[in-house]
């Protein structure tokens, strides 16, 4: 699979990341087949979070991949912390971040994470607390790179004012049907609802600051909780996906991911499937280059307009 640099780091990563949020739904044999299918595709970047399956997804992954020192050398592992669902709150305190990472490392059976993301903004965040946690994790060799998830530009600026380490990634929801980051930029200075800035123009901010955007739920239909692929709710979009897929000799899934990769922001989509064949289709997007005409045709078919 084609690779890219993650943010301003020296870390070369696959352009498609494997999301592990649903791994605990697989039995051990299924999980092993899925993880090794990903590796066969060159998809060696695995995205976790301490809340996925209450930590079980990390344990399932470690068992499925057969974690040991040799195996670890071929993996790029990212996890997230900061959400305390049982307590009904977020927590960016030094103590919670450090304890969370220790738990993550124990469950993944590794001595370090390649990337740690703070998982949604904590309104009570104290920059000095986060900085102290990051410094400790870096000094002890437990985390090599840091980033955020679901943060807007001013929140990133506020955090970056305190932490020494560059924030190399920002994980944000983005897809053909959830494209407010793009539509607000297209409709600047108009009276249309699409012009409403809901995120501080985070896409352009991340581009200007070399922060890699990691789109999550890249094929999700928010109205049903399923996928927009083949959904009766999106007939025009699926017709355009089918037509473009036929032209390139790939599946509509591949085209949906290729649409994100075509954007010059150099994004790294995080795909959440647990099906090996669907993952292979996502990985094939690495080899598909949509034309400008194809990209805009898909954009319009999803119901997005131009001024």
- The H or E element that residue 12 is part of is strand 12-14
What residue numbers bound the domain in which 37 lies?
A: 3-301
What separation in angstroms does the CA of 133 have from each of 141, 142, 160, 209?
A: 12, 11, 14, 23
Q: Taking the CA atoms of 84, 274, 65 and 2 in sequence, report the sign of the dihedral they define.
A: negative
Q: Which residues contact 246 (CB under 8 A, 6 or more apart)?
A: none
- Please report, in tens digits, the pLDDT of each residue of the chain (307 residues total): 999 999 999 999 999 999 999 999 999 999 999 999 999 999 999 999 999 999 999 999 999 999 999 999 999 999 999 999 889 999 999 999 999 999 999 999 999 999 999 999 999 999 999 999 999 999 999 999 999 999 999 999 999 999 999 999 999 999 999 999 999 999 999 999 999 999 999 999 999 999 999 999 999 988 777 899 999 999 999 999 999 999 999 999 999 999 999 999 999 999 999 999 999 999 999 999 999 999 999 999 999 999 9
The whole-model pTM stands at: 0.97
Write out the DSSP string of 144-201.
EEEEEES--HHHHHHHHTT-SS-EEEEEEE--SSS-HHHHHHHTTTSSSGGG--SSSS
In a domain, 37, yes or no: yes
Q: At what angle do helices 28-40 and 56-65 cross, to 10 degrees?
A: 70
What's the burial of 282, exposed, middle or buried (CB within 10 Å: 0-12/13-18/19+)?
buried
Q: What is the pLDDT of residue 177?
A: 96
pLDDT digits (tens, 9 = 90+) for 51-89: 999 999 999 999 999 999 999 999 999 999 999 988 999
Cα angle 289, 294, 299 (rounded to 5 degrees) comes to 115
Q: Which residues contact 186 (CB under 8 A, 6 or more apart)?
A: 194, 304, 306, 307
Alpha-carbon gap, residue 96 to 81, rounded angstroms: 9
8 Å CB contact between 188 and 195: yes
In a domain, 287, yes or no: yes
8 Å CB contact between 168 and 115: yes
Alpha-carbon gap, residue 246 to 255, rounded angstroms: 10
In a domain, 306, yes or no: no
Q: What is the pLDDT of residue 298?
A: 98
- Residue 213 DSSP class: E
Q: At what angle do helices 94-108 and 127-139 cross, to 10 degrees?
A: 40
In a domain, 307, yes or no: no
pLDDT digits (tens, 9 = 90+) for 262-296: 999 999 999 999 999 999 999 999 999 999 999 99
Q: What is the pLDDT of residue 212?
A: 98
Q: How many CA atoms lie within 13 A of 219 on its CB side?
A: 24
Alpha-carbon gap, residue 115 to 167, rounded angstroms: 10
Phi, psi at 176, each rounded to 5°: -60, -35
In a domain, 108, yes or no: yes
In a domain, 106, yes or no: yes
Q: How many domains does the chain have?
A: 1
Alpha-carbon gap, residue 280 to 282, rounded angstroms: 5
Read off the CATH number of the domain in which 226 is found. 3.20.20.100
Q: Active-site positions?
A: 52
Q: What is the pLDDT of residue 41?
A: 97
Q: What is the pLDDT of residue 227?
A: 95
């Amino acid at each position: 699979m084609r690779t890219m640099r993650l943010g301003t780091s020296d870390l070369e990563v696959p352009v498609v990341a494997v999301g592990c949020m649903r791994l605990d739904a697989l039995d051990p044999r299924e999980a092993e087949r899925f993880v090794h299918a990903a590796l066969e595709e060159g998809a060696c970047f695995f995205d976790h979070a301490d809340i996925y399956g209450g930590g079980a997804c990390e344990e399932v992954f470690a068992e499925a991949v057969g974690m040991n020192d040799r195996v670890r050398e071929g993996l790029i592992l990212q996890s997230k912390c900061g959400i305390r669902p049982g307590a009904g709150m977020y927590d960016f305190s030094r103590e919670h971040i450090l304890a969370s990472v220790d738990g993550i490392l124990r469950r993944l059976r590794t001595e370090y994470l390649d990337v740690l993301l703070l998982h949604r903004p904590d309104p009570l965040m104290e920059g000095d607390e986060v900085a102290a946690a990051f410094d400790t994790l870096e000094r002890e060799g437990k985390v090599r790179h840091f980033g955020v998830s679901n943060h807007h530009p001013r929140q990133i600026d506020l955090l970056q004012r305190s932490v020494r380490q560059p924030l190399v990634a920002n994980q944000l929801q983005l897809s053909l049907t959830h494209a407010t980051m793009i539509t607000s930029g297209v409709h600047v200075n108009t009276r249309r609802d699409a012009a409403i800035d809901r995120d501080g123009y985070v896409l352009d901010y991340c581009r200007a600051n070399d922060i890699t955007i990691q789109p999550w739920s890249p094929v999700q239909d928010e109205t049903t909780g399923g996928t927009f692929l083949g959904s009766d709710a999106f007939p025009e979009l699926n017709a355009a996906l089918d037509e473009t897929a036929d032209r390139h000799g790939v599946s509509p899934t591949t085209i949906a991911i290729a649409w994100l990769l075509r954007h010059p922001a150099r994004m790294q989509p995080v795909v959440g499937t647990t099906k090996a064949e669907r993952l292979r289709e996502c990985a094939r997007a690495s080899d598909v280059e949509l034309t400008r005409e194809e990209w805009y045709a898909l954009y319009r078919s999803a119901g997005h307009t131009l001024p």
